Structure 1
Amino acid sequence: MVTRRTFLGSGGLAVGGAMGLALGGGTAKAQTIVTDTKWPAEAPFRFAGDMADFDAAQAALVKLYAVNRDVATFDAAYYGAMTLPVQAAYAARSNWVNHNHALFLRNGAPGHPRDVELDKSRAAVATMLGASVEEIALAGGGTEALYALIANYARLKAGDAVIYADVDYDEMQFACDYLEQSRGARIVRFDLPEPHTEANILAAYEKVLKDTPRAKLLLLTHLSNRNGLVPPVKAIVAMAKARGVDVILDSAQAVGHLPFTVEETGADFIGFSLHKWLAAPLGTGGIYIRKDRLQDIAPWLGNRIHGADDIRARIPTGTVDFAARLTVPYAIAVHEAIGLPAKHRHLLALRDYWIDRVRDVPGVQILLPELPGRHGAVAAFRLPGMGGPDDAKKAAALFLKKYGLLVVAKAGLASGPVLRVTPALFNTSAELDRLVAAIRAERGLFA
C-alpha cells in the first residue's frame, strides 16, 4: 500500500508501478507514473502516408491522432490538436521539466540549460519561417504575440491613425482600440467589400490608405479566422510602406497552414500561433521582428529581464509551460515529415469536399470566391434567412446537439454573421458527409 509517508519518502515517484488516486470520494483509474527522467531523444519521425491520394492520406493521417470522435469537430482554427508523436514528446518533456523543476528553470540542469534548449525552439521556428533566431521570440500563443506587437508599437504619436478591417480578429481589433485609449491614436475601421476578389481587396486598402494621410499603423490578417480570406499580403504591405505606414501581420492562422516565408510577406512585424496548424502544444506562438526594426517595438511594459536589443524583451517573461515550448522543434519535425505543400493541398481538398456538395443547396451562401491562393482550409457559410448573431449561435447549437457537429458562430463581418467550418488533418470525408447532410436538412431553419 502506498501511503502519503512512503510516497513522499520515495521522492514523489512510484517506481515502475501504478496507484489508485482517491478523488472527491471516488477512485480514479490507476495512473502509471512515468519514471524515465532522461532528456528525451526521440527517433526521427517518418511519415509513410500517400498524401497524393485523398483517401489514402485520410487513412494515414487519422492514425496520427487520438481525438474525441463522438463529435465531428471542425474548429482547427482554434486548436489543431497534437499528433500522437508530438503528444508523447510533450509528455516526456513535461516529465523531465518536473523532475528537474527549479534547477532547470534556473538554467542549472546538467547538459541542458534552459535558455540553450529554448533557443533550439526559437531556431527551429526561425528556420521554418526563413528568419534568423535573433528575429524570433516565443510567446504564449498568437493573441499574446500580437498584443505585444500592437500595444508596444513605439512609433505612434497622438493623432496618428491606426487602421483595421472587419475581417481582422476581434482581440487584435481590441488591441488597436487600446492605442486610442492609451496613446491618443485615431482608429479607422473599414469593411472589405464582397465579393472578396483580389481587385476589390486591393482597391479597398488603397482607398483607406489614401483617405487616411496620418495613418501610421495597419493591422493586416494573413488568413482571416472569420471566413478564411487570404488577401494579397505582399502587395498590401508594399502599398502601406510606400505611404510610410507600418504593417503588423496577424499570421496566427497561417503558420503551418500556408506555405510562406517572412521575406515573401514583406512584413517587418509578424505575430503567430503554433498550436493551431502546426499542432504544437497549447499555449505556443511567437513574434517575428525584422532585425533592423527591433527598436520600433518597445519592451513589454518596460521589461528589463532581457536587454533592449533582445527580441525576448518584447514578450512577457513570466513562468510559462516550458515543456510546451521545448516540444516545438518536434512538432515542426512532424509537420515537415508530412510536408507543408502536401499538407496544404490536403487541407484545401477537405475544404473543397464539403463546399462542392452544398453549392447547389438553394440559398446557402459560401463566403469566399473561388480564386486560387485567396483561401485556405477555413471557410464559412450562411443558411438562408440567417440574420444576426443570435441566429448563428442558434444554428451552431443545433448542429452540435442534433448532429454531433462542432461548427462555430462568428460575427464581425460587415455582411453579417457566419458559421465557420475548419477541417483539421484528423477530419475525414465521412465526417464532412455528416456536415453536408446537416446543412441540407436545416436549410429551412430560418426560412
Structure 2
Amino acid sequence: MPNRRTFLKSAAACAPAAAMLRTPAQNPAKTIAPLPATLPADRWPAEFDVAPGIINLENGYWGLMPVRTANLYAEKTAYVNRFNSIWGRGVLPGDNSAADFRAGRAAIASMVGVAYEECALTRSGTEGLQTLIVQYKNLKPGDTVICCDLDYDTTLSAMDYLGDHRGAKVVRFNMPEPATEANVLQAYEDTLKANPGTKMMLVTQVSHRTGLISPVKKIVAMARARGVDCIVDIAHGVGCLDFKIPDLDCDFAAWSVHKWTMAPLGTGALYIRRNRIADIDIHYDNHEIPPDDITARVPPGVTNFAATLTLPGAVQFYNATGGKVREDHLRMLRDRWVHAVKDLPNVDILVPDNPANYCAITSFRLKGMYTVADALKVQHRLFDKYKIHTVFRKGVAKGPVIRVTPSLYNTVADMDALATALQVEHGMLL
C-alpha cells in the first residue's frame, strides 16, 4: 500500500493536482452564455428558472438563484461530493480548500465594502445576528437593551435571552404607524431618553414585516452620542439597496447572503468593526482560533462547503446587475402596484411614500384585517383565485399585514396582476 508521500508523488506525476480536482462531474449542468460585465434589467427575467403558472411575490424568504448561479452550485456540490476529504483536508498539492473558503469570504467582504478581517461567514442572517446579540460583552445585570416590534423574530428572541439569562432590562417599543423618517427618529430618541441605562440597541435597516427602511446612520449616531452600541440587521438591505456597510457607520451588523445576493441557502455573514472585535465574545470559549480573529465568534462546525464555493459567482452576478440599477428597478416594480392601489378606500400601505424609506418590500393591510385568520384569508384569496403568492406577517403592533416582495425576475405585468386583484378584492373582509 503506498504511503501518503508516494501517493502525492504519483498524483503530481500523472496530472496537475488542481486540474485533476477541477475535472467536471459526469453530468455537468447545461451551460449558458458567459456573464457580461453589465447585464441590463430587461434581460434579468431570462436569467431565472421560475415555476410556471404562479406569480411569486414572496421573495423575502430567500432569493431565487439565477440559473448560472444554480449551475455553479450544482457543479460545486458535485465537486465537493466527488473529492470529499481529499479536497477538504488539502491532500493534493495545488489545491487548497482553505483558499477556496477565503475566496468566498473575500467576495462577500468586498461586496459590502469592508476589510476581510472584519467579515465572517455564517449559516444565515439569524446566526450572525444572534451571535452579535448574545455574545455582546458590554452588559451587566440591570443594563437596558432596546428593540422594536418591526425587528426580526429571532433577533427579538435573542434580545429576550439577554433579559432571561444575563439580567438585562429589555425595552421593546412600537414603531409609529404610519411611519415617516421624522417620527421613526423621534421614536428612537424618545426611547433612548426614557432609558438612560441603555447599553445596546437593535436596529433594523429594512423591516421584514412591512418593508420600512429606517435611517440607520442617523439612529446609530444618535445612540453613539449616548454611549449606546447598535447591532444592525441588514438582512434585507445587502443586495437590494445600493450601499456599503461604512455608509451606515455602524460597529456591528449581520445579514443573510441567501436573500438578495441570491446565493445558495445556508449562507450569511456578520461584520464587526476591526477595533470592536473584542467586544463580541468568542463562541463557547473556542480557543482553536486566535481570540483576535473575528471567526472565533462564529459557531464552528461543518458548513455547506459547496455554498461557500459558490459565493464568488453570486457576487459576480450582483456586480453585473449593478447595485444602483438593481435598487431602482426593484423600487419601480414596487411603485407599479402600490401607486395603482394606494387610494383604494380599504387598502392601507404600511410604508411612507418617501423612496428613501422603501424599496422592494412593501406590506399592506385591508380594512377589517385584524387577526392572523383574516390575513390568511387575503393571502389564500390572492393565491387560489389569482395564482399570486404573497405572505402574511404577524408581529406588527397594529395587526398582521400582507407582504409583497418582487425580485429581479418579476415583471411589470406581474405587478399589474396584483394591482388588478386588489382592485377587485379590497373590500373582501367587510
Query: TM-score, normalising length from structure 2?
Result: 0.91
User: 1:251-306 deviations in whole A, cap 9, x for unaligned?
Assistant: 01011011111211111110011111110111111000111100111112222332
Aligned to 1:380: 363
1:187 counterpart SS class: strand
For residue 137 of structure 2, what is the amino acid of its counterpart?
A
Aligned to 1:67: 50
Q: Distance in 2 between matches of 1:43 and 1:357?
A: 37
| Structure 1 segment 349-364 matched on structure 2, within 5 A | 349-364=332-347
Q: CA deviation at 1:75?
A: 1.5
1:137 counterpart SS class: strand
Q: Distance in 1 between matches of 2:158 and 2:65?
A: 29
Bigger proportion of residues as helix: 2
- Select the residue among 170, 173, 176 that pairs with 1:187: 170
Aligned to 2:25: 34
| 2:250 paired with 1:267 | yes
- Unpaired runs of 5+ residues, structure 2, are 1-23
Q: CA deviation at 1:372?
A: 2.8
Aligned to 1:46: 36
Instruction: Label 1:292 to 1:401 Cα distance change in 2 as closer, same or farther (>3 A).
Output: same
| 2:353 paired with 1:370 | yes
Tell me if the contact between 2:32 and 2:68 (Cα under 8 Å) persists in the aligned partners.
no
Tell me if the contact between 1:141 and 1:274 (Cα under 8 Å) persists in the aligned partners.
yes
Tell me if the contact between 1:137 and 1:286 (Cα under 8 Å) persists in the aligned partners.
yes
2:356 counterpart SS class: coil
User: 1:165-205 deviations in whole A, cap 9, x for unaligned?
Assistant: 11111111011001111111110000111221111011111
For the aligned residue pairs, the C-alpha RMSD in angstroms reads: 1.8
Aligned to 1:315: 298
Q: CA deviation at 1:90?
A: 0.8
Q: CA deviation at 1:107?
A: 3.3
Tell me if the contact between 1:305 and 1:317 (Cα under 8 Å) persists in the aligned partners.
no
| Structure 1 segment 5-154 matched on structure 2, within 5 A | 34-35=25-26, 45-46=35-36, 49-51=39-41, 57=42, 60-154=43-137
Q: CA deviation at 1:47?
A: 5.9
Instruction: Label 1:109 to 1:189 Cα distance change in 2 as closer, same or farther (>3 A).
Output: farther
For residue 81 of structure 1, what is the amino acid of its counterpart?
L
Tell me if the contact between 1:217 and 1:245 (Cα under 8 Å) persists in the aligned partners.
yes
Q: Answer with 127-136 or 356-365: which moved more.
A: 356-365
Tell me if the contact between 2:38 and 2:320 (Cα under 8 Å) persists in the aligned partners.
no
Tell me if the contact between 1:42 and 1:89 (Cα under 8 Å) persists in the aligned partners.
no
- Unpaired runs of 5+ residues, structure 1, are 1-32, 52-56
For residue 46 of structure 1, what is the amino acid of its counterpart?
P
Instruction: Label 1:308 to 1:403 Cα distance change in 2 as closer, same or farther (>3 A).
Output: same
2:242 counterpart SS class: coil
User: 1:385-426 deviations in whole A, cap 9, x for unaligned?
Assistant: 111222112211222222211111011112211100000111
| 2:300 paired with 1:298 | no
Aligned to 1:398: 381
1:272 counterpart SS class: strand
Query: TM-score, normalising length from structure 1?
Result: 0.87
For residue 65 of structure 1, what is the amino acid of its counterpart?
F
Q: CA deviation at 1:126?
A: 1.2
Q: CA deviation at 1:49?
A: 4.8
